[in-house]
Chain A
Amino acid sequence: MATALSIEDVRKRYAEVEALAGVSLHVEGGEFFTLLGPSGCGKTTLLRCVAGFLRPDGGRILCDGKRLDTLPAHRRDIGMVFQNYAIFPHLSVFENVAYGLRARRVAPAEIRQRTVETLRLVQMEPLADRRPDQLSGGQQQRVALARAMAIRPRLLLMDEPLSNLDAKLRVEMRTEIRRLQKELGITTIYVTHDQEEALAISERLAVMNAGRVEQVGFPWDVYLAPRSAFVAQFIGASNTLTGTLAGTDGEWTRVQIGGWMLRGRRGEGMTGRVLAVFRPEAVELLRDDREPPGATVGEGVVVNREFLGAILRYRLRLADGSLIHLDEHKPDPAGLQKEGERVRFAVRPADVMLFPAESSP
């Protein structure tokens, strides 16, 4: 059974900055868990605390219920993949992967067998004798991965491992990493600032902001039911409008935005100013007088439009001057709206999330 990891109220301060303000998380054995957040949110600090390169100021880190944070880094039995790969430049590919096994005084024959086996897993076996400077970025990444996995660690930690690769290779490698992790069943903690990558690769993820965990959940939940304005805005594209609560309308909450009344879901416990957040794909362009039942209809002027292939993205200015995005899928070249044209759009109340205004970042 793979190792479970518990992080209990871990704190870390650097001089003026509270890097981790009491973080608690539980990662199941064999799970692929992602720490997602903007730079400076504390995700890398947390990962380095788990790895043992940083000592937390408070809290506990447990592996299968046993203290991990009291062990020195080299006794933690953790595989780590670094952002810049950190390949040993003076050792061959084979020796890089065998390094951890040699430190564990594994028998030579077994070292050979396990190293070759791991290299085969990452499809690097034919390049075993190469020097690291003869490898491409993607190949170095595979070596780094193999090196971390060869020791069959309790935990696999990855610190933005794909950020130095080009976009296409990044997508390829993340699929590969997920396949390997499933195959070996190693509990994995993955750090990234790329929300799309996080949604694609994770079983569960934690969204972090300013040293705190904002939300933990499945990718689907975090995207569809963000618990804070920060999460809503950080994950995926979103429109944010500031308005004032104006009572309820059946099951919906009404928000006054300039002269426009928008309806949204979930208004409990909020008073006064609120943020209304909705996705660009939830905004529907209306081409005739027909109004979708139950939706809020608004008006705006086209500021500009971007053709992104699968999507046509309009930028609209509302009456109060605020801007929103509207995504049209499968755009029809015949129905293009010109800049400066006045258009009508509809938003379903179920797609509008409301958050207290002061919780905005």
Chain B
Amino acid sequence: MHRRGDIWTGVTGIAFALLLVLLIIPLGRLLWASLLDDAGAFTLKHYREFLAYPYYSRTIGHSFLVSGLVTLCALVVAIPLAFLIARVDIPGKTVLKTLAILPLVSPPFIGAYSWILLFGRAGYVTTLLQKAGIMIPTVYGMHGIVLALSLNLYPFVLLMLAGALQALDLSLEEAAQGLGSSPWRVFWTVTVPVTTPSILGGAMLVFLTAFAEFGAPMIIGEGYQVLPTIVYSLFVNEMGANPAMASTGAALLVLCTTAILLVQYWAVGRKRYAMTQLRPIPPVRPRSLLRGLLAGYGYLVVGLSLVPALVVAVTSFFESRGPVLYPNFSLGNYQEVLFNVPRAIANSFVLSTASTLLDVVLGTLIAYLVVRRRSAVTAAMDSCVMIPYAIPGTVIGVAYIVAFNKPPIVLTGTFLILLLAYFIRRLPYSVRSGSAILHQIDPSVEEASISLGVSPLKSFAKVTARLMLPGIVSGGILTWVQTITEISATIFLYFGAWSTITVVIYRQVSSSNFGSAAAASTILLVAVFIPVLCVNWMLGERAVTAV
């Protein structure tokens, strides 16, 4: 079957070319820019400068501190919740699990903005308490970032651990008990070790996502700068942009992320326990009072993480004048958004849809190559394709500006630069979801079609692609959701008419137009929640692994 020059050779070539132009070269140019002085000679002075001035260097510490605290909070909140969902018979479990997915797909900057609406200087709660004579510290700064991000990201740990717990076979715990272990001992010697990789995996996702987060720190951090925000500040500095220093910051950002991944690889490695589940462990049903308390805890946590969405939605229907909101029902904010920035909303939908389609098509083909045409070449492609997964959006933003603002390729100021940045950032998602489902389809099904007289390409389309469809569609929807909420790369790359809804929200919050910011946020959240709930309904239990 491995004829030279078949269609798959072409796909391999295109995939490598795209990865080279859209990923390797921009990252190389970024590194290059950080290592050259004004005269164009090699220098390490930008790195020295970055590390010498506390104004820059402390952001590294801030980033680690914030991400560490967010991870800790997420673990504390999510681990009990996971046990609750997996092991205790509480009412409305499915609803709880479904709702817990929503924070993951809502952009953290909307969360940050919403906490400002509640606890900011003129926040609803702050004002209310002030009237009662109680002064509370405001939400701005590090603790605000940690609050917003923790409530956004804890579902990573929750979903992975709950999945692992539900995959445990009853016989495993029974076997341990049969060997004379007490339930407590079984918990520590069987349940904990077997689920630890899932907990660590979830924690790592939380840490990396928090580390790369730009929007929430930008909105709620005020003076508290982290690596992605300092890179942005350096780039748009009113005292004159400093691309070399911005590139240096971005390079350090990549360095840190890579280091984290290496530590994870070293610590956890590829340790995963394969389990064949025959009988799931039945949930325990505690006495009604305890059951009520436990259920209450579950609903409290999940409810709390959905507060931002609710606050934003309610606010969007208030009358507004700048940062001042009046609790009278009004559609004024929506009118303003729809009349002033319809283009940005349209841009967001068009760009996300187009880049998602590109991701899905190429991602599916790459997944097929990687899974079904194993060779040294496709293995290399598999590794390359996963790089964007570890590269923060901020880095892609700076790298694309550095790489594509002068010939041979000039893309700055066009919609193409956004499209390509979105495309490359989310390509790993499509490849992963494609290969995950492909592993479940036996290759002989496609061979059966070929032997019945259907050409290999048609067989791929009629059988394999058709069977991959549920995975492709759900992967595509998640890609779309991640793309339409993108801000960290967009903020560097958008230009004039090519603004997006996320940029509009950010700009409106920055200029304290809280009403229209709320309306735009609500539009975005509705656009994101509906497809995610559809995927969840479509896939049922399997949705957990898709995230």
**A76 contact set on B, CB distance < 8 A:** 451
| Contact A53–B449 (Cβ < 8 Å) | no
Contact B456 A74 (CB under 8 A): yes
A100 touches B445 (CB 8 A): no
Total contacting residues, chain A, CB less than 8 A: 30
Answer whether A55 and B1 are a contact pair too, CB < 8 Å, given A74-B459, A80-B448, A86-B444: yes
B447/A74 in contact, CB under 8 A: no
Residue from the set A55, A72, A103 with the largest chain B CB neighbour count within 10 Å: A103
Name the residue on B nearest A77 (C-beta).
Answer: B453
Instruction: Report yes or no: B1 in contact with A73, Cβ–Cβ below 8 A.
Output: yes
Q: By CB atoms of chain B within 10 A, which of A86, A100, A147 has the most?
A: A86
The answer to whether B448 and A86 touch across the interface, beta carbons within 8 angstroms, is yes
Report B337-372 CB contacts with A as 1/0, cut-off 8 Å. 000000000000000000000000000000000000
Given A82-B444, A147-B448, verify A90-B453 contact (CB < 8 Å): no
Roughly how many angstroms separate A77 CA and B450 CA in the complex, as a whole number? 10
A260: Cβ under 8 A from any B Cβ: no
Instruction: Report yes or no: B453 in contact with A100, Cβ–Cβ below 8 A.
Output: yes
Main SS of the interface on chain B?
helix
Q: Is chain A's binding surface mostly helix, strand, loop or mixed?
A: loop
8 Å CB interface, A58-108 against B = 72-80, 82-84, 86-90, 99-100, 103-104
Q: How far is the CA of A89 from the CA of B444 in the complex (A)?
A: 12
Is B449 in contact with A99, judged by CB distance below 8 angstroms? yes
Centre residue among B451, B455, B463, B466 by max chain A CB count within 10 A: B451
- Tell me, in angstroms, the Cα distance from A86 to B455 when the chains sit together: 17
| Closest beta carbon of chain A to B257's beta carbon, Å | 36
B533 proximal to A (CB < 8 A): no
A154 to chain B, nearest CB (A): 12
**Given A74-B459, A82-B447, A86-B445, are A54 and B452 also a contact pair (CB < 8 Å)?**
no
Complex partner residue of A78 from B451, B463, B467, CB under 8 angstroms: B451
Q: Contact: B442 with A151, CB < 8 Å?
A: no
B451 and A79 contact, CB distance less than 8 A? yes
> B454 contacts the other chain (Cβ, under 8 Å)?
yes
- Would you call A80 and B463 a contact (CB within 8 A)? no
Please, which residue of chain B has its CB at the minimum distance from the CB of A76? B451
For residue B2, CB closer than 8 A to chain A, the reply is yes
Rounded to whole angstroms, the CA-CA distance of A162 and B283 in the bound complex is: 40
Cα A55 to Cα B1 in complex, Å, equals 7
Give the Cβ gap from A101 to chain B, nearest Cβ, in Å: 9
Kindly state whether residue A51 has any CB partner on chain B within 8 Å. yes
Partner of B448, one of A52, A75, A77, A88: A88
Which residues does chain A contribute within 8 Å of B442, judged by CB atoms?
A: 84, 86
Interface residues of A in 304-341 (CB under 8 A from B): none
Q: Which residues of B contact A72 (CB under 8 A)?
A: 455-456
Kindly identify which residue among A55, A77, A88, A89 contacts B449, using a CB–CB cutoff of 8 Å: A88
Question: What distance in Å separates the Cβ of B374 from its nearest Cβ neighbour in chain A?
Answer: 12
Q: A73-B1, A74-B459, A86-B444 in contact; A51/B451 too (CB < 8 A)?
A: yes
A74, A88, A89, A90: the one contacting B450 at CB < 8 Å is: A74
- Inter-chain contacts of A147 with B (CB < 8 A): 448, 452
Q: Is the beta-carbon distance between B444 and A54 smaller than 8 angstroms?
A: no
B218 shortest CB reach to chain A, Å: 47
Question: Can you name 19 extra interface pairs (CB under 8 A) apart from A78-B451, A103-B454?
Answer: A52-B1, A52-B451, A73-B1, A73-B447, A73-B451, A77-B453, A79-B452, A82-B448, A83-B444, A84-B442, A86-B447, A87-B445, A87-B448, A88-B449, A89-B445, A90-B467, A147-B452, A148-B451, A151-B452
| 24 examples of A-B residue contacts, CB within 8 angstroms | A51-B451, A52-B450, A52-B451, A53-B1, A55-B2, A73-B450, A73-B451, A73-B456, A74-B452, A75-B453, A76-B451, A78-B451, A79-B452, A80-B448, A82-B447, A87-B448, A88-B448, A88-B463, A99-B454, A100-B452, A100-B453, A103-B453, A104-B453, A148-B452
Q: Which residues of B contact A (CB under 8 A)?
A: 1-2, 442, 444-445, 447-456, 459, 463, 466-467
Which residues of A does B touch, CB under 8 Å? 51-55, 72-80, 82-84, 86-90, 99-100, 103-104, 144, 147-148, 151
